[in-house]
């Protein structure tokens, strides 16, 4: 099996069987974003406990790339500090720019590395990660503190 086929299978698995799809009842950081170019939309919710992401959930509609990216991202940030989650979003942004990046945190994320060859799809892949970044920044972390 070629790597592209494997990556397609990973993306489709996350799309058809999304991890962490749903909502958090109360006390969460909530970010709503949409991509008006293609109609993708996401609501990301982060449950925080002692500066760490104890839970992450999403709802929304979109293409296989945006929804699988949200699934992978929510898996990857659970148990991470806000700074670690923000750093992961920065790494994902670099990956979408074609920069070499390793995701030790969750191998599935690398399945999205080929998206950078399709500029119109980059916004789809980064939608959930941009929501994560906004959520972290809303808590006084990330860029707002000069990281």
- How would residue 105 be classed by pLDDT, with cut points 50, 70 and 90? low
Please give the structure tokens belonging to residue 140: 């006084």
What is the residue extent of each domain of the chain? 1-141
Give the global pTM. Answer: 0.92
Its sign, for the CA torsion 143, 90, 105, 57, is positive
Q: Which residues pair with 52 in a beta bridge?
A: 49, 81
| pLDDT tens track for 116-126 | 999 989 999 99
How crowded is the C-beta side of 4, counted as CA atoms within 13 Å?
Answer: 3
> Hey, how many other C-beta atoms are within 10 angstroms of the C-beta on 146?
5
User: Which DSSP string corresponds to the chain?
Assistant: --HHHHHHHHHHHHHHS-TTBS---SSEEEEEEEETTTTEEEEEEEEEETTEEEEEEEEEE--HHHHHHHHHHHHHHTT-BHHHHHHHHHHHHHHHTT-----SS-GGGGGGGGGGG-HHHHHHHHHHHHHHHHHHHTTT-GGGGT-
Q: What is the mean pLDDT of the chain?
A: 91
Which of 11 and 101 is assigned the larger pLDDT? Answer: 11
pLDDT at 144 over 60: no
Rounded Cα distance, 145 and 124, in Å: 27
User: Which top CATH class is 1-141?
Assistant: alpha beta
Euclidean distance between the first and the last CA atom of the chain, given in angstroms as a whole number: 40
């Amino acid at each position: 099996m070629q790597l592209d086929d494997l990556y397609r299978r990973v993306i489709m698995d996350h799309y058809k069987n999304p991890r962490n799809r749903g909502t958090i009842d109360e006390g969460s950081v909530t970010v709503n974003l949409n991509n008006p170019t293609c109609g993708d939309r996401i609501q990301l919710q982060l449950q925080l406990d002692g500066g760490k992401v104890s839970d992450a959930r999403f709802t929304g509609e979109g293409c296989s790339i945006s929804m699988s990216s949200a699934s992978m991202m929510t898996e990857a940030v659970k148990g991470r500090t806000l700074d670690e989650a923000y750093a992961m979003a920065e790494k994902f942004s670099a990956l979408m720019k074609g920069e070499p990046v390793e995701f030790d945190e969750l191998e599935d994320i690398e399945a999205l590395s080929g998206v950078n060859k399709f500029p119109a799809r980059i916004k789809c892949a980064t939608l959930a990660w941009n929501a994560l970044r906004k959520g972290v920044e809303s808590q006084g972390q990330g860029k707002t503190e000069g990281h």
